[in-house]
Every structure is written in C-alpha cells, then in structure tokens.
Structure 1
Amino acid sequence: MEPIYLDHAATTPAHPAVIEIMASELANTFGNPSSIHTFGRKAHRTLEDIRQVIAASLKVKSHEIIFNSGGTEGDNTAIIETALSRKDQGMHLITTAIEHPAVLETMKYLEGLGFEVTYLPVDKQGKLAITDLENALREDTTLVSVMYGNNEIGNLLPIKEIGTLLESHPAIFHTDAVQAYGSERISPHEFGIDLLSISAHKINGPKGVGFLFKNDAISLPSFLHGGEQEEKRRAGTENLAGIAGMGKAVELLNDSEKEQRHEKYADFERIILTQLDKAQIDYQINGNPENKLAHILNLRFLGVASDLLLMHLDLKGVAISTGSACTAGTVEPSHVLQAMYGKNHPAIKDSVRISFGLGNDEEQIQRFVAILIETIKKIKQ
C-alpha cells in the first residue's frame, strides 16, 4: 500500500518543477556568481533575478534579501549579530518559551556571554499576551525575537501587534517565519519586522538553502567571514542551484495557491476530526484552533503514548511526528507543550503532530484517519 506522508512541518518533498530547474542550473549555469567573465556574469544574473522574485513575495527591495543555508543560519545571524553589535546599548533580549531550538539555543549561547534573556510565557492554548511583552520591554532591550507561526502546534503569534508596539522602542524585531512563509501573506515593512528567517525545504524547495530578510534601515554585521559575497553580508560562494530551486518554489507560492492550500488543509482537518468524533476517540486539540497555520494539527489522544502510536503508524506506512524534527531521536519532551501545560502534564506524552502538504489528497486523509482510529483502538484494548 502507498505510504502516507503527513510530516510536512518537518520537511517537504521537492516540487517536480524545483527538481527540474535545479538540474538545469547544475548542468548549464556552473559559473561562480562572483567571477567577472561570461560564465560568472550569467550566474550572477540568475542569482539577482531570483532575488527579485523572492523580494516581490514579501513586498521588499531585492537588496534586502540575503541568501544563506537556511533557517538556523538566519536565526543565528539575526540574533547573535544584533546582540553583539548593540551590546553597548543594552544586553537584554526578549523571546518566547515556544520558539524553535534555533532561537532558544542561540539565546542560551548569548546568556553564556553575559546577556540577559526574558522568555515570555504562553497560556494553555499557546497564546502569547502582548501585555507580557510590553511589561518585559526595558530601556536596555535591544532585540525581540518572536516566531511567526509555531512549528509544533501551529499557533500564529501576534506579529503585527508586536511590530506596532516596537514602533516606539529602539529594539530590533526578528521573526522566525520558517513555518509560516509557505502559507501566510507576510509583509515585513507593513508589519514592522526588521529581520526575518526563511528555509526553502519547508516550501517544497531544497534542503540547505534559505534567506534572511534584513530591513535596509538597520545595520547588521556579517555572521560568516571570508569573501565579499552577498555585498559583504554573508561570506561563501552562493549555492546557485539550491537558490534557483528555492526561487521556483517561491514562484509557485502565489497568493491564489496559498488560499487554495488553506481551504484544502481545512477540509483535511475537518475530515480527521469528524471521523474521530464518529469513532468516539477521546482526543483534544493542542493550541489555538481559531488562529493557526492551516497545515498543522496537533492532537492529544488521551491514554495513548505518542511514541507507541508513532511506531505502530510507521509500521503501517504512515508518517506523523511528536514535534520538531530538530529534537527527533531524543528523549526530551516537547518544550512547547511544557510551556503550555507544565512539565509533568500527561498531554506531553500523549500528543502528536499531523502536518499536510504537497501530495496529500482527500483519499489519503480518509485512509490515514481509518488507520489512525484502528491503531488507537488496538493500543487501548
């Protein structure tokens, strides 16, 4: 039987058009974009054309897009370089307790260098109170880093409200938009965002490539040192084939496509929840179902250990997860669910993440939920 992949929040399959253009670039545009001869100039033109495509998707200037290796590098660059370059103005940073490890571990690194970090709490639905951020802001706060959409429960954070709040404060505003870029309409200048991190492999592009949006109004030292690529903002020869694949993935994600995905994924979610209700499966939704990313559904199945459920489903050709792929293979419980419920709450061991994407259709979802119900009933016998 055909396997069912429902872990698109971890990584997405490359779109056929992405694979095609990457193969073409590898074969035909092999010059170094920094070389001044014909081969290099051709590569450079390709690079700049893609930069314009990506900039248009965010309604920003092409100069404000810096190509890099993905979300982790983008988060590290934004956070570390902002903190270090502004430490004379203050050493207080603000983030949330539910950020991706690429943000949380970077904050811990800076704490080791003497910085003070405030980790904003969330409620039992994973909601962040804007008043908590307002109360945490100080004169020596130089950076606020809040993710756009959570990668485990799907919650959308109050990005516009944060941008408005920071209009009257000198702190730099960074958002990890890796999980949200593929589905949400994001306009950094309109929302007051100074720095924004993206990874191509979350939008049906290749792994190992992404970009950092940097508002021209702020300065940011280079994180990597070496050559003068990316206008001296990110050293290292650009991964042109990967960037071309990312550019094609972005082209495919127009507003109409995003809207269609929202509708399709909402239908998938309705099918799953309706069938679970009919089968009288005891479950609850983790997160805020009224304000979340359409492709993520985090469910707690009461009395069903998530690791056991995942193992059974995997044996039946179904792939879902318990949370961030960056913590897979560890025994650490979800820090997101811990922040919501407390460290010893049973939901932490009973919850799974289902995430939709390219290749999923209604027939697959119907088949998945039938397998899911059968498996849960077998475990609870």
Structure 2
Amino acid sequence: MTQNEFVIDGVDVTSLPKISLHDHLDGSLRPATIIELAEAEGIELPVLDAEGLGAWFAEQSNSGSLVEYLKTFDLTCAVMQTREGLTRVARESVIDLAQDGVIYGELRWAPEQHLTQGLTLDQVVEYVQEGIEQGIVDAAAQGQSIQIGQLITAMRHADRGLEIAELAVRHRDNGVVGYDIAGAELGFPASKHLDAFNYLAHEYFPVTIHAGEADGLASIESALFDGRALRLGHGVRLAEDITVESTDENSTIVSLGDLSQWVKDRGITLELSPSSNLQTGAIAAWGDDILDHPFDLLYQLGMTVTVNTDNRLQSGTSLSRELWLVADAFAYGLADLETFQQNAAASAFLPLEDREALADAISEGFLQAVQNSR
C-alpha cells in the first residue's frame, strides 16, 4: 500500500497534521542507511539490499513476543555508536516524520545503549540533538514545519535509572522534554527505579513509562504510583481491568475496575501502537487481528487514546498508516482521527501555550483538508 492510498472520507491521511508521541529513534532507521553505516563500521548484516533488509526486520519482528521483537534493536543500535551514525539517523528520522505530515514528534531512545565506541552520555544526547536540528532545517527547506523533542529512556533491566534521569534533566534546555523506561517489562516494574522517579518529581520533569505491553495491571499500577507517569507507553493491557457485562447488536455494557476508572478519570494518556501491539503479542488475550485490538473499547469508554508507530522500521509503518488501519478497522471518520490528534496535542510534553498552538494547528489543518476534498 502506498501513502496516497491512506484515504479516509476522501482525504489523504498523509496530508493531515499529526502528532507522534511514541516513536523510538532506534526503530526508525531507513534500511539503506543501516547498510551504509554497517559497511563503514564493518558490521555484518543478514541481508545486503535495502528492500530485503526491510523485509528481514518485518519478519523478525512478527514473533508475537516482545523479547524476540527487541532483539532486532541489537542491529540498529550497532550502527548508532558514532557521531556520524547518531546525527544521520536522527536527521533522517525527522525528515521522514515531516514527510508523513507530523508537525510535532517526540523521539525516544536510550543513551546508555550508544557508548560502545567511547562516547559519553552527554555527547550522544548532543549528537542526536544536532541531527534533529539538521532534520528540522532540511524539512523546512522542503516546505514542511516540524518540532521535535527527545525523550531520554533508561533500560528498565539495568541499574542506571537515576543516572539517566539526571542526564535528561541536564539537557532539558537542549531538546530533551521527558523521561521514559523501556525494555523487558515483565519482572522489571517502575518501582525498581524509584530513586529516579523521586528525583524527576522534585525536578518537575515529565514522565512516560512503558507499561501494559508485556505485563499486565500490576505494571501499569507501578508506572502510575511509583513512576508518577503522565502517559502510559502502550498501556493496552489496561483493558484487562474492563469487564464486558453484556452485549447485543445495539449496545455493550461494561464495568471498569478501580485502575481503569482512575486512568479514565485522570485523563492519563494511552500511547497505543496498533501494529506493534499485534507484533509483540500485547493484545494476544483478545486476538491476533487489528479488529481484536481493544483500541475501540478504550476510545468509546472515553479514555485519552492516541495512535502511534512505536517502531517504524520493525512495523514497516508510518503514523498515517497506523491511523488508516484503525479507521479502516473500526469505521472511524476524520472527526475521530482529529480527536486522536487533539489528545496527542494535549498530552505533549510541552508548555501549555505550545500545546494550545498545536491544537489550533490540528484544527486548522483538518478543516483545510476537508475543504480541499470537496
């Protein structure tokens, strides 16, 4: 499927202004770039042509297991250990987002995974920011306006949470907008990094946490109450706390547990990633098709849902494609897609005035797209 086939209500989704909240930098590489950087660094690849390498990533990522899915990052991180690799990947990621109509994005990545060739934590953050700024300038030259913030991520199975939190705060005036923990979720709750989250709370620094993807409700609880998360990375397994009492052709009656009621009432954002959630088995309890994803249940219940890519390379996707997929599956129109973007605008780790400006840009862009389609 090509970009111009992502049509909803007569409008190409690619042309709509969009916000991307959950997008991993090391999951956004172009296959051709991996090949070039790997050749320069003497890194062996399983496939030596761009199309074939893209297919290899897709095949490896469709295991139904988050642990197996994460193994593909050994290769992408391997080519991101130098200033050249980091700046190039960041620059191209921003350009690709802008070409997909993204006007604001948050790129998350783990600096501790990019130190094998002697760079320091501060250097890798600076080099990624350098690439981001280059990408913004290049996108502007193509007539595309985009803002990007870094989300600094700590690996939850490691013991560097506080160190990485201090790194994030140290660079809060140099492009870093928030903090995350990621990696193998099961067995590594947010509570293991309590010192980091206490520090971040005292620094008034926003947090999003991967939770409710490879582990269930206890992981989400820890993210909220130990991590003080403002957003949940995925959070799809929150649906385990929702019981369908009865259903017929006209209505469905459900009851919410205390946790899901709390998330709904507090407006805590769910960073849902439909394709990735299928690939990692995050929605296995409900099925193995996009139609089985509890996205619509969460949306209809009034949860603050957003649509995200997670990893564009591994899922062979874009934000426009993910929006089209949920729209096609659940018969959404442009008004629904705009709601998801407004949710994302309100949830961005930006000052209120900047979030209001994003909201206005979303409204104006959707209105213009509708008028142009008539």
Give the number of the structure whose residues are more often helix, by fraction: 2
**Larger C-alpha radius of gyration, 1 or 2?**
1
TM-score when normalising by structure 2: 0.29
